[in-house]
Structure 1
Amino acid sequence: MAVKRQKNKTIENKQSDPGDYQVDQQIGFFLRQANQRHVSIFTSLIGDKLTTTQWAALTKLGQIQPCSQNLLGRETAMDVATIKGVVDRLVKRGLIRTEPDLTDARRLVLSLTEDGQAVIEKNLSAAIEVTEKTLEPLTAGERMMLLELIRKIG
């Protein structure tokens, strides 16, 4: 145990020395690489020129509709500016509709259009394949561990 502590202490000391900092050995670098791989797979398999954030908004809205833009943003882990842009683009494409909230005039209620529902149905099997291909290099145990660890730091 003492050896392990000493090794961790050495790593901490090395990383706090700016001369020894290596960006390509940091968690953000590895997460960015994994995300780039995932987005590349997503783009190659999902039709309708959807982005990952648009897909997340569409599918989550399909699960919780009708709902406010604010709730959709929280449910998809998007900040206010991001979800607004995503919703605006999906409305413009005719995949989401907005209606005034009958109880709060300041708020709009979002729901899927028939076209939005059709896009989800058309791409659902591809979305499942995206996840499978993204995790393909990992064993079943590694997949479970990765997802558990990412949830924990998220």
Structure 2
Amino acid sequence: MSISKIAHSPGHLIRRLNQAAVSLFLEEVGRAGYDLTPVQYAALAEIEVAPGIDQATLAARIAYDRATIGGVVSRLVDKGLVHRGTSSQDRRAKQLHLTAEGKRVRNDIEPLVEKVQQRILAGLSVGEGEVLVKLLYKAAEASNEHSRAPLRIDDE
């Protein structure tokens, strides 16, 4: 049986690897008793390094769609992990801060997230994994402007 050309196309392979990455994340984090998605984790991690960040900037910094970041934040608020307050400079903007529970959860699952990263690269040698990550970063940067949610780390 022959394999179609798509089986070796970058987009198809990236989609397959993303499916595996999400599955591994949910498995590791769920096994430890946490109910978080990769996007929710990314939001927690970014809010931790940028306390008081607004939702639009958060979306840009984790390369997530601005139209749906509100739902992600709402779920984190409902779980008691994030506090959403009104900005003193712009009453329309919502400032985000981790709660004490949010900080605890973020710290607790950090080793699990690291384990997921190792499992994603399990079929590769250490050197191959390092090269793959560098190449993925390079490709993601080169195509950033074509994304429906481009990464913007300088949005303040």
Q: Same fold (TM over 0.5)?
A: yes
- Equivalent of 1:75 in 41, 61, 70: 61
Residue 65 (structure 1) shift: 0.9
Aligned-pair RMSD on alpha carbons? Answer: 1.3
TM-score, normalising length from structure 1? 0.82
- Mark the structure with the bigger radius of gyration: 1
Which letter does structure 1 place at the counterpart of 2:88?
Answer: L
Q: Which residue of 2 aligns with 1:39?
A: 22
Which residue of 2 is the match for residue 29 of structure 1? 12
Displacement of 1:73? 0.9
Count how many residue pairs are aligned between Structure 1 and Structure 2: 134
Q: Indicate yes or no: 2:86 matched with 1:100.
A: yes
Runs of 4+, deviation exceeding 3 Å: none
Question: Amino acid of the residue matched to residue 60 of structure 1?
Answer: E
What 5-or-longer segments of structure 1 have no aligned partner? Answer: 1-20
Please state whether the residue corresponding to 2:130 is helix, strand or coil. Answer: helix
SS in 1 for 2:83: strand
Give % identity. 33
Residue type of the alignment partner of 2:13? F
Name 1:146's counterpart in structure 2.
132
Shift, 1:32, TM fit: 1.0
After superposition, where does 1:2-151 map in structure 2 within 5 Å?
Answer: 22-47=5-30, 48-151=34-137
Q: Give structure 2 stretches of 5+ with no counterpart.
A: 141-156
Greater relative contact order structure (CA < 8 Å, 6+ sep): 2
Of Structure 1 and Structure 2, the greater helix share is in 1
Amino acid at match of 1:105: R
Partner AA of 1:30 in structure 2: L
